[in-house]
Chain A
Amino acid sequence: MEKMSELLEKYFRGETSLAEEKELKKYILSGNVEPEHVVYSSLFQAFDQEKNDNAVVPLKKIVSRNHMFRNNWVKIVSYSGIAAALLLALWIQRPQHSDDFAIILGNKIENQEYAQKYATAKLTKVNNVLKSSMEPLQSLNDVKRSLKPLRTMPDFKSETTE
């Protein structure tokens, strides 16, 4: 500790080397110091604090014209590449549209099974309607069939009229 007191005296006389000052600083800031040396800890702390005072706005890097051209070219190529990659990704992941669909009651139906069932039900209904509509015609057919033998007796008809 006596050595440190001597070093401190030397420091305040401006006679210490950078290495000695480093050693002194290490000792003072270690926390394990003689009571009479504690007061100097604030001094070395102040120097440490000042070392962290950095420029508020750092200086902008100088960029020469050649570098600007090269940087711009690199930027253009990079951005074009990114844009192309994005377009490709979008094209690959585009929603898949099916051409196989039906419009039912104004709604687009892509479920094939549902569309088939719906169509079968509708056709059955049409079939039934047609069937019931044809029933009166069946009677006419019966009359027509009954009249057919009469047509095969023309001679008998002419004889009776004479």
Chain B
Amino acid sequence: MDSIQFNTQIIALSDKLFRLAKSILRNSDAAQDAVQDLSLKLWEKRGKLDEIENIQAFTMRSMRNLCLDAIRQKHNEDEFPAELEFVEPNPHQQIESKDLVTRIREMIDELPELQRTIIRMRDVEGMELSEIAYITSLTENAVSVNLSRGRQKIKDKIMKEQKIVEETVWKR
């Protein structure tokens, strides 16, 4: 793969890669660094990229793996907040301070990594289940199950927040 092909196929994916990295790492700066790292690594291995059939899926998969490695590494160094340590603020405080769209984005961030990555790849990037299955190294059925669980959790949270809002209105 020469520089022109690299620019058209890999650099063009930088926004998608950034969104994926941000979803996994839940940090814009770390996501930006991860995208830069991946870009360098792919450039070093550009000779082998010609053999890959679906370059977008391959790059997204590499991005996810790189981010998961970074989480594991940071977790070992005890610098990065682990999945289970993500602290949810009080629902009443959340509703009062933010609009529902922002809250939903946070709700997605509160999901386990696999579910939030799958939801974003499907609902934000509009990817096929087969592509998501390749990126996450899962079967299509497993992707579908995780997608369903993630969406259902978001739905439950939205309903819960709506109920709190209605109760608050009635009390007033």
* B-side interface mostly: helix
Residue of chain A at shortest CB distance from B7: A61
Name B148's contact: one of A14, A49, A58, A67 (CB within 8 Å): A14
Least CB distance, B152 to chain A, in whole angstroms: 5
Question: Does A39 reach chain B (CB closer than 8 Å)?
Answer: yes
Question: A14-B147, A43-B104, A62-B3 known; A55 and B35 CB under 8 Å?
Answer: yes
Contacts of B6 in A (CB 8 A): 62
A57 on interface, CB distance cutoff 8 Å: yes
Contact across chains for A59 and B14 when beta carbons are under 8 A apart: yes
User: How many positions in chain A have a CB within 8 Å of any CB in the partner chain?
Assistant: 30
Q: How far is the CB of A70 from chain B (nearest CB, A)?
A: 12
**In the complex, B114 has a CB within 8 A of chain A:** no
Stretch of B68-76, B77-85, B122-130 at the chain-chain interface? B122-130
A45 within 8 A of B: yes
Q: Are A42 and B158 in contact (CB under 8 A)?
A: yes
Question: Is B147 within 8 A of A46, CB to CB?
Answer: no
Checking B4, B18, B102, B155 against A53 with a beta-carbon cut-off of 8 angstroms, the contacting residue is B18
Q: How would residues 19 to 32 of chain B score, 1 for a CB under 8 Å from any chain A CB and 0 otherwise?
A: 10010000010001
* Contact, CB under 8 Å: B28 / A56: yes
CB distance from B94 to the nearest CB of A (A): 14
Check A50–B128 contact: CB distance below 8 A.
no
Tell me if A53 and B2 are in contact (CB < 8 A).
Answer: no
Per-position binary interface string of chain B over residues 109-132, scored 1 when its CB falls under 8 Å from any chain A CB and 0 otherwise: 000000000001011111010000
Residues in A whose Cβ lies below 8 Å from that of B41: none
Which chain A positions have C-beta within 8 A of B108? Answer: 46
| Most chain B beta-carbon contacts within 10 A, residue among A14, A39, A47 | A14
Is B43 close to A, CB under 8 A?
Answer: yes
Q: Closest residue of chain B to A65, judged by CB?
A: B3
Judge whether A64 is part of the interface by a CB distance below 8 angstroms. Answer: yes
Within 8 A of B (CB), among A15-70: 15, 18, 21, 39-40, 42-43, 45-47, 49-51, 53-64, 67
Q: Write out, one digit per residue, whether chain B residues 158-169 have a CB within 8 A of any chain A CB (1) or not (0).
A: 110010000000
CB-defined contacts of A13 to chain B, threshold 8 Å? 148, 152
Given A14-B148, A62-B3, answer yes or no on A47-B123 (Cβ-Cβ < 8 Å). yes
Q: Assess whether A73 is interfacial by the CB under 8 Å rule.
A: no
B115 to chain A, nearest CB (A): 11
Answer whether residue A12 sits at the interface, using C-beta atoms and an 8 A cutoff: yes
Residue of A nearest to B42 (CB): A62
B144 touches A42 (CB 8 A): no
A11 within 8 A of B: yes
Seed contacts A55-B18, A59-B14; 4 additional CB < 8 Å A-B pairs: A15-B148, A47-B123, A63-B3, A64-B3
- CB pairs A–B below 8 angstroms (21 shown): A12-B152, A13-B148, A14-B147, A21-B126, A42-B99, A42-B100, A45-B101, A46-B102, A46-B105, A51-B124, A53-B15, A53-B18, A53-B19, A54-B18, A55-B15, A55-B35, A56-B32, A58-B11, A59-B14, A64-B2, A67-B4
- Closest 5 pairs between A and B when the two form their complex, measured CB to CB: A14-B148, A14-B147, A55-B18, A42-B100, A46-B104
